Amino acid sequence: MDKNEASRFEFEFPNFKPRDASGNFDRFVRLTPIAKGWSDNKKYLAETPAGKKYFLRVSDVGEYARKKLEYEMLRAAHDNGVLTPDPVEFGICGGGLEAYSITGWIEGRDAEEAVIKMRASEQFIVGDKAGETLRKIHSIKAPADAEPWGEWFYKKVSARIDFYHKNGLRSEEGDVIAAYLRNNRRFIDGRPRTFNHGDYHISNLMLDKNGDVVAVDFNGYNLGHGDPWWEFDNISWGDEPPGPYHTGLIRGYFGGEPPDAFFETLSYYLAYDALAALCDTSVGIQGEPETGRRHLKNVLRWYGGMGRSVPEWYAR
């Protein structure tokens, strides 16, 4: 946003108070609801009298602290050269009952919808660009006093294994995954912490009009800082990943073939996700039980029963 645009915005939205006395948004001439996504936040394409487009997100004020952190994460990434929507404003609205954020509007395509229609070579190129973007996000350091990653993450692993054993979920396949997690903690010990997007999934990326990858939706479940390699495990439970895209993502991030240690660490995170899928779907926390069982079987197949470190969908 240049200085003239900033001045017009300040004139149009002094101390942004998006709801008038009647409860209507009074600073935009048009609001188009956006239904995509998992959160219950209200999301809109918001247009001004001058024809400027913005993305408006409104949530309950009880989420204020979390939403403020998300907005600050977006700003940190944007200021570090990551291609994201422009962070414009954050605050309280709705008579103190709601929190809002305003960001720039991206004219482009949903990356997930675009990639499934592409040839393998085109999928790889999008993945390669997404990997370069993720590398920029991870160049932002974590606070110096952050808890050692291996200790923090293994607490999550232990909790999942305990849940698995105590809730009648045991099976031969599940035991293989649980044993792999117990026996390979070394893969995560000593891993660094960096700034994390939190949910760097293809559904949270867009392709702008130039075909460049734009990172959006920093309201990921795992907010904060963590092992940068953990962000490669965002494969939807029960799904088969688009191999060329994920191969491109990995190679774009590393600028070529990754080190062997990366694949070992990724196998650990995907094994954890397999156990998490089995646990959460079995008790109705998320999704259907069949989805969890299918994801566990998928991960075992990708890794040959956890006998190899490179997943079958990765093309060297």
The series of mean pLDDT values per 10 residues for the chain, 316 residues long, is 36 43 59 78 86 90 90 91 92 84 92 94 97 94 88 97 95 97 97 92 92 86 80 90 94 97 98 96 87 96 96 93
Please state the pTM of the whole predicted model.
0.85
178-232 tens-digit pLDDT: 999 999 999 999 999 999 998 899 989 999 999 999 998 887 655 578 999 999 9
- What's the pLDDT score for residue 223? 58
Task: Please count the other Cβ atoms lying within 10 Å of the Cβ belonging to residue 1.
Answer: 13
- What's the pLDDT score for residue 97? 85
118 & 138 share domain: yes
- What's the pLDDT score for residue 224? 75
- What is the count of structural domains for the chain? 2
Which domain does 195 fall in, by range? 109-302
Q: At what angle do helices 149-166 and 260-282 cross, to 10 degrees?
A: 40
- Of 105, 121, 153, which residue is a domain's last? 105
- What's the pLDDT score for residue 19? 45
95 & 15 share domain: yes
Q: How far is CA 287 from CA 201, 221, 278, in A?
A: 18, 16, 10
101 & 113 share domain: no
Alpha-helical runs (H) found in the chain = 3-12, 64-79, 111-115, 120-137, 149-166, 172-183, 243-254, 260-282, 289-302
245-257 tens-digit pLDDT: 999 999 999 999 9
Task: Give the domain CATH number at 198.
Answer: 3.90.1200.10
- Of 67, 84, 105, which residue is a domain's last? 105
- What's the pLDDT score for residue 20? 42
CA angle 297, 302, 304 (to 5 degrees): 90
Q: Are strands 42-47 and 53-60 parallel, antiparallel or unpaired?
A: antiparallel
129 & 246 share domain: yes
